[in-house]
Structure 1
């Protein structure tokens, strides 16, 4: 392998070949990137680490992870030992730490991830002080400040003790500076901004509109296509997500195999009530899965595909398999595990209403509401009211939604279900939309008083982000 050693004071910025490799890597066209990564430079070392990080994040392959940990120190030391005053040096080092942190998080090594986040923070803060006009800094800074600002208040003292602080608002502002520039990392910054807007700030419509432009202007980018599909699904645009899935499925030659697409498509087919198609997608995902996460949930959703389609024999087999398979690290698997530990199968009518509403198939959900659901437990009564609230909220009948959310809060009480805290969160969003800041603040704060329920981390983070926005 040829080695190019940058000279003293070299700016270490991407060469035209490295910029080309970066484009291919972000598109998940790793084989096409390879010819441009043959020379060992600061840029190619950074890009190789980015490429391997993406492979592990999507595959969760334990062998790749082991190789990654062995190679990381060598990559890091190569850049760290360079005699250069370039702003790119600490930027690359901070980015390597961030990439490593996300890989560790994905593989369940939370302490290693926390250590990498802290090192990334220190490196990029130092780089910002020394090179305040260096635009790429804002990618790392923005992400870190948003994540730090999302940490619940009761844990902020730990961050301060470690010399780390940040706010969601500051982070978004920093990402915007890069996204609005003509810098090499502009597209990546635009994508990051949209993801945070959707997943943290609940600005789903705006995020989708912005990401659509990013995706269209990045023709053939499989990573952006998958992220766009995820945003559509989160915004209950199931049919659009399914249409996009079929386009992405045609991007086969030269692209990394993105098995997670089958899991996503299975979810939408399940929501739509096309159970055979859902079954096929979940089976494909399970067959090619190499990681720990989403396996339990996939078997559980395969059970739902059979059961809601009347195939009780296959449903029982999938249900028992789901009980014995996978882990409970991510929220989807935790939710599946809770359902699997129930003494009975879920209520079919409620489940169908939930799935149809989540996917944006609202006419189907409204027809299901007209069926008489047999509610046998207090949890079913609370959930049925909650599902009505979610449906009316999504179709814009806000006053009806408000009433059902409030009824859910009363019915659920302090039970360890997510229906009440998420009802509070949604009421916060509705009142903020209506301009009733005091009511919005009241319900966002009420979220923080609930403990020990599913999806607590994400619901709490969203409430905290909502409160932060109200302070502006």
Structure 2
């Protein structure tokens, strides 16, 4: 009898130990260090730390989440379509593995939601939009369920804010999808929540999330809200990220390029960490090559070659070839210009609007050199040089209608950026008058730009008139992008 009792006691102890080992979500030292390595894009270090945790605490559910983080940031960095196809089936296996973990932990539903959310972003990036929407909806449901069980759980709040941004920033032309999914959001409210969470993070045990929250705030501010005057604030925020972070370098370059701080783009990206510990980020070479081209100082945009050679994704290939062609055109090397223009026509894809535009230009008449130089100077934020390139010129100095329209448009853009709004509006209006019935985007974007000027002046009546004028110009380049921006403008002013 005593032997039976001892045996039963051992069985109970063993089962209890198993349950305890299974019921485990722990962001211990290994996991926290692995997470930080992932946010630095040091994936080899991250994998080593995850393997160490597997040996020491194999039932820790955070391991599964971190493995998904590795794939998520690796795919964001590489944009490798083949890797995406190879890895996407791991989503279901990881979700199944998480379901067997501790259902009484606040990480239980959160970790599942985070995997759904990360794959939603990846699916959207690689064009699987319907599946992306369903994953986002599933993530949202799990996050709200978790919020009811564990109010104020910080990781949950971060992801809920992201969902709010995602569904609040879907272009007007895709609103039918959000209605079908029964989802809605508010991008401004989502960003405000992220900023509140960032301020509170140091007071919590989740302070290590700071870099990820900064990444979200900065990329949303630039890519979604288009706040191009936030450069100093965002750069200051990024300085909180570690000096060893390649992700920090990438975002610094992105923000500088989107806000026309061209010399800073080059400074940031050339100082990036380059050891084999980091995952490759081909888009850094794309940004760097474009930035060097904008300086127009005869510096060969070698990084564009590197981008083309190492990139295995689907975006910006045509644009990179076109930029190389324009570099050689400005060097008076007609042979190389024609070679790269031929590559634009045969290489890459036309999913992104930049690549669509590159193909349009490759099939069009060769650009006017003064206008091309003014365009690159403008894109780099060298507004004085851009204006000097068009000094004493107006539309009558050009033969092609395309170039007449572009001259007015470029002058409008330069005056707009330098605060000479009266001159900007006059030149924009000329571009609209000359170009409304053409395929070029200049007229529609000129109308959109005048709308923004009047919106900033709180003259919402005129702003609405010009946003509607932009919408009424059809059949031009960047049609979807400009229409979406005009609709967003009308929404902002309540029309």
1:394 to 417, 440, 445: 417
1:351 to 372, 381, 384: 372
The CA deviation at 1:101 is: 2.1
The CA deviation at 1:11 is: 7.4
Secondary structure of 1:332's aligned partner = helix
The CA deviation at 1:17 is: 1.8
Q: Please identify the structure whose Cα radius of gyration is greater.
A: 2
Distance 2:342 2:49 in 1: 49
1:64 to 76, 83, 92: 83
| C-alpha contact (below 8 Å) 1:9/1:86 kept by paired residues | no
Number of aligned residue pairs: 466
2:161 is the counterpart of 1:139 = no
The CA deviation at 1:258 is: 2.0
Give runs of aligned pairs for residues 120-269 of structure 1, distance below 5 A: 120-153=139-172, 155-182=174-201, 183=206, 184-248=208-272, 250-269=273-292
Secondary structure of 1:218's aligned partner = coil
| C-alpha contact (below 8 Å) 1:121/1:144 kept by paired residues | yes
| C-alpha contact (below 8 Å) 2:24/2:61 kept by paired residues | no
Secondary structure of 1:144's aligned partner = helix
Distance 1:459 1:189, change over 3 A: farther
Distance 2:356 2:18 in 1: 49
Partner of 1:319: 341
Distance 1:253 1:116 in 2: 33
Distance 1:154 1:285 in 2: 32
The CA deviation at 1:375 is: 2.2
| C-alpha contact (below 8 Å) 2:231/2:259 kept by paired residues | no
Distance 1:59 1:334 in 2: 21
Partner of 2:322: 300
The CA deviation at 1:95 is: 1.7
Distance 2:305 2:428 in 1: 36
| Structure 1 residues not aligned, in runs of 5+ | none
Give runs of aligned pairs for residues 313-392 of structure 1, distance below 5 A: 313-342=335-364, 344-370=365-391, 372=393, 374-392=397-415
Secondary structure of 1:180's aligned partner = helix
2:425 is the counterpart of 1:406 = no
Distance 2:120 2:168 in 1: 17
Distance 1:5 1:123, change over 3 A: farther
Output the TM-score relative to the length of structure 1: 0.90
RMSD: 2.6
Distance 1:239 1:216, change over 3 A: farther
| C-alpha contact (below 8 Å) 2:78/2:311 kept by paired residues | yes
Distance 2:181 2:108 in 1: 24
2:273 is the counterpart of 1:273 = no
Output the TM-score relative to the length of structure 2: 0.86
1:422 to 445, 454, 461: 445
| C-alpha contact (below 8 Å) 2:24/2:101 kept by paired residues | no
| C-alpha contact (below 8 Å) 2:168/2:186 kept by paired residues | yes
Distance 2:468 2:24 in 1: 48
| Structure 2 residues not aligned, in runs of 5+ | 1-16
The CA deviation at 1:63 is: 3.7
Larger RCO (CA under 8 A, 6+ residues apart):
1
The superposition leaves residues 84-111 of structure 1 with CA deviations (integer Å, 9 ceiling, x where unpaired) of 1323222222221222122223333333
2:40 to 13, 16, 27: 27
The superposition leaves residues 449-469 of structure 1 with CA deviations (integer Å, 9 ceiling, x where unpaired) of 444433344434444444444
The superposition leaves residues 408-459 of structure 1 with CA deviations (integer Å, 9 ceiling, x where unpaired) of 2222224333223322332233223323333334434444444443334443
Partner of 1:454: 477
Distance 2:81 2:264 in 1: 34
The CA deviation at 1:142 is: 2.1
